[in-house]
Structure 1
Amino acid sequence: MTFSPTISVFGSFFPTWLLLVLLGIIFAVAVRLVCTLTSWHEALPVPVLFYAACAAIFVFSAYLACLA
């Protein structure tokens, strides 16, 4: 039994945080698409920081949920 946070993908074990970072990037792209379609993108003063913060919040929340 292992106590490290890993996920088996096709028989190979990957760190949980690595997969969650990839999901965070996908989530940030989805948030960008929604903001662009609803014209909220123009109202953001620093869009790069906003999308990075969205990705970070998703990754940290998902990581805590996986460990619980």
Structure 2
Amino acid sequence: MSSEVEIFGAYFPGWLLSAIAGIILAACTKMVLAKLGLHKQLVMPVLVYLCLAFLWAALCWMIFFD
């Protein structure tokens, strides 16, 4: 299976799309945690959200491109 995706006639690498999806999903996770009031409990939020973005990106990669 190819790791490139055609969007509007241009080919994008799968890792790029997975990274974008990971960032978007991490932002959505941040909103959910803020809504629940759990974001105040985080010790190092920048590191937590960076790891969440990586986690979501890796999951998207494994689901759609592996």
1:66, distance to aligned residue in structure 2 (A)? 2.4
Matched, 1:40 2:57: no
Identity of aligned residues (%): 30
What is the distance in 2 between the residues matched to 1:43 and 1:26?
A: 22
Q: Secondary structure at the match of 2:37?
A: coil
Alignment of 1:1-68 (within 5 A): 4-68=2-66
List alignment gaps of at least 5 residues for structure 1: none
List alignment gaps of at least 5 residues for structure 2: none
TM-score (norm 1): 0.87
1:38, distance to aligned residue in structure 2 (A)? 0.7
1:21, distance to aligned residue in structure 2 (A)? 0.7
What is the distance in 2 between the residues matched to 1:41 and 1:67?
A: 32
- Provide the aligned length of Structure 1 versus Structure 2: 66
1:65, distance to aligned residue in structure 2 (A)? 2.0
TM-score (norm 2): 0.89
Higher-RCO chain (CA-CA 8 Å, sequence separation at least 6): 2
